[in-house]
Structure 1
Amino acid sequence: MREPGFWHRPPSLVSRLLLPIAAIYGGIAATRMQKAGTAVGVPVLCVGNYHMGGAGKTPTTLALVTLLREFGETPVVLSRGYGGRLHGPVMVDPSRHGAADVGDEPLMMAGRVPVVIARERIDGAALAASQGASVILMDDGFQNPALIKDAALIVIDSHRGVGNGSVFPAGPLRAPLALQLSRTDALVVVGDGAAADGIAAKITDRGGVVLRARLVPEAASVDALRGRRVLAFAGIGDPARFVATLRSSGVDVAAQRAFADHHPFTAEELADLVATAARDGLTLVTTEKDLARIGPAADALGAPILPFAVKLMFDDEAKLRMFLLDRLNRARSAAFAGPR
């Protein structure tokens, strides 16, 4: 879906009119979040958002994969597989699955780390454990109570924060903010904006960890676009952030197209993008997630679509390492002591 503009403005008449529905939605979400979860015998680290739309969960998950491997762990990512037709549990195999099967984010990550998709998280965790996972990384699922989470790391964009602070549909929040804050162990603030500072202060006050981070382009992606004028397009939670990252990397963005998050590109839309780029002498560039969703159709367009890869860099990686090690040790000590 495309986010309504009023979600990211001060409370408006539209959002106020939607507050009664938001109260019902929020009440249901809060009741669900407080249900007891199941322990699966493997530490579970959840990477989530307070709100709908993207903020950088996938780069955060991949950054954690790198660190966990340095600790000697065997991480497996567990995803719901949003946008895919398969219910799972199933191991994602890029050689036989497409985004329509398993979702764009799981497909993109599967080239770097084992990924399980499952609508039922307990079944997915069991499959991940059977494949040798020593740590399960839940990509999203913060509001899902199925599994006991040994740590919840919430990703928030420093320029967007939590929008107008209201629960869906009056705002972007998936559940009442106070409840979500109370279940947050670490907050990952992406970027150098100030919109998330109030949330960060609340997390610090209650003893949580705040980690500052930034998206850094892969050098190969920047080199591939050097000296080119580009048409940038993206169907992600915040396409404007993608364009801003390109420009801050020195890429000449001559034109841009924004689509809704997880947008399924049609053949006509892709042909139009190719024709526009050819007419204006531009190079097509998109996100890795979008290119995963386009899939093999990109090879038949007659013009290349270049992916712009980014990675998440933490300002204080040592702080993150200490947090992860502490949470893994706690999880394993609790498992050794007996049922929780």
Structure 2
Amino acid sequence: MREPAFWQARSSWQSLLLSPLGGLYGAITARRMTRAGQRVGVPVFCVGNYHVGGAGKTPTVLALGALLTELGERPWVVSRGYGGRLAGPVAVDPAQHTAADVGDEPLMLAASLPVIVARDRVAGAQLARTQGASVIVLDDGFQNPALAKDVALIVIDAGRGLGNGCVFPAGPLRAPLAPQLARTDALIVVGEGHAAETVASAVAARNKPVLSVRLKPDPASVSALVGKRVLAFAGIGDPRRFFATLRASGVDVANQRAFADHHPFSPSEIQALEQQAAREGLTLVTTEKDFVRLCSDSRLAVYASGIMPFKVSLDLGDGVALRTIVADVLKRRRVAAS
């Protein structure tokens, strides 16, 4: 879906009109979050958001998976597989599955980590354990109570924050903020800006860690665009962040096109983008996630050679804060199991 503009407005007639629905939706979700989840015998690290839309969750999952691997663990990602047709549980195979099968995020993650797609998160975690997982990284699912979580790491964009602070559909929140804060074990603030400061202060007031990180562009992606003017397009939760990242990296963004999150591109749309780029002498650039979605579709893969993916990763600084959180959770689980 494309995020409506009034979600970022502090007061609007649309959010006021939809607030009763938001109150009902929020009450139901908040009540669901109080349920006790099922244990699956291995630690579960949940990476989630307070709100719908993008905030840097996928790079965080990749960074967490890499850290767990460095610590000698065998992390498996469990994802709902948003946008995919398979209910699962099924292990994602990039050589066999497409984004239409398992969703674009799981397909992208599977290039670096083993991934299970499952609408039933418990079943997904159980399958991952039978495959040798020593730890589960739950991609999203913070508001879903089915699977017990050992730690909840919440990702928020420093420049975007929580928008108007209202609950869906009146705003972007998936549940009222208070019950979400109560279940937050650490807040990961991505990028620059002040929109997340109030939330960060609330988390810190509960004596929970707040980590400030940034997205780091892939040097090869940046150098490939030196001296080029680009037409950037993206179908992610927050395309504006992608365009801003390009510009902050010194890329000359001459034109840009934003699509809805997980947008199912058609051949005519990609053809139109290529024709525009040719007319204006521009290079087509998109996100790694969008590029994975294009390449996995046989109708669109033929256009991939004319499109450049711009890769980013999460820069944790020295990584000490996240490493400490992860090590503490693993230690507690080992003590509890002994």
Cα distance, 1:192–1:316 mapped onto 2, change above 3 Å: farther
Q: Look up the match of 1:206.
A: 206
TM-score, length-normalised on structure 2?
0.97
Cα distance, 1:32–1:222 mapped onto 2, change above 3 Å: same
- Cα distance in 2 for residues equivalent to 1:334 and 1:32: 27
> Which moved further from structure 2: 32-41 or 302-311?
302-311
Shift of 1:279: 1.2
Residues 90-169 of structure 1 correspond to what in structure 2 (within 5 A)?
A: 90-169=90-169
Shift of 1:207: 1.3
Structure 1 stretches of 4+ moved >4 Å: none
Shift of 1:316: 4.9
Q: Look up the match of 1:255.
A: 255
SS in 2 for 1:213: strand
Aligned residue pairs: how many?
Answer: 336
Q: Which amino acid letter does the alignment assign opposite residue 181 of structure 2? A: L
Per-residue CA distance 1:127-162 (angstroms, 9 max, x = gap)? 110111111000100000011100000000001111
Shift of 1:302: 7.8
Shift of 1:297: 3.9
Aligned residues of 2:163 and 2:172 also touching (Cα < 8 A): yes
SS in 2 for 1:47: strand
- Cα distance in 1 for residues equivalent to 2:90 and 2:108: 15
Residues 1-340 of structure 1 correspond to what in structure 2 (within 5 A)?
A: 1-295=1-295, 296-301=298-303, 304-336=306-338
- Cα distance in 1 for residues equivalent to 2:316 and 2:310: 20
- Cα distance in 1 for residues equivalent to 2:264 and 2:231: 19
Aligned residues of 2:266 and 2:300 also touching (Cα < 8 A): no
Q: Which amino acid letter does the alignment assign opposite residue 307 of structure 1? A: P
TM-score, length-normalised on structure 1?
0.97
- Cα distance in 2 for residues equivalent to 1:68 and 1:119: 24
Per-residue CA distance 1:279-338 (angstroms, 9 max, x = gap)? 1111111001001111244442385111000000124511111111001111232344xx
Q: Which amino acid letter does the alignment assign opposite residue 167 of structure 2? A: V
SS in 2 for 1:301: helix
Q: Percent identity?
A: 63
Aligned residues of 2:44 and 2:135 also touching (Cα < 8 A): yes
Aligned residues of 1:211 and 1:316 also touching (Cα < 8 A): no
Aligned residues of 2:267 and 2:300 also touching (Cα < 8 A): no
Per-residue CA distance 1:84-117 (angstroms, 9 max, x = gap)? 0000000000001000000000001101110000
Aligned residues of 2:228 and 2:252 also touching (Cα < 8 A): yes
Q: Which amino acid letter does the alignment assign opposite residue 280 of structure 2? A: D
Aligned residues of 2:33 and 2:143 also touching (Cα < 8 A): yes
Q: Which amino acid letter does the alignment assign opposite residue 320 of structure 1? A: L
Q: Which runs of 5+ in 2 are unaligned?
A: none
- Cα distance in 2 for residues equivalent to 1:205 and 1:314: 23
CA RMSD of aligned residues (A): 1.1
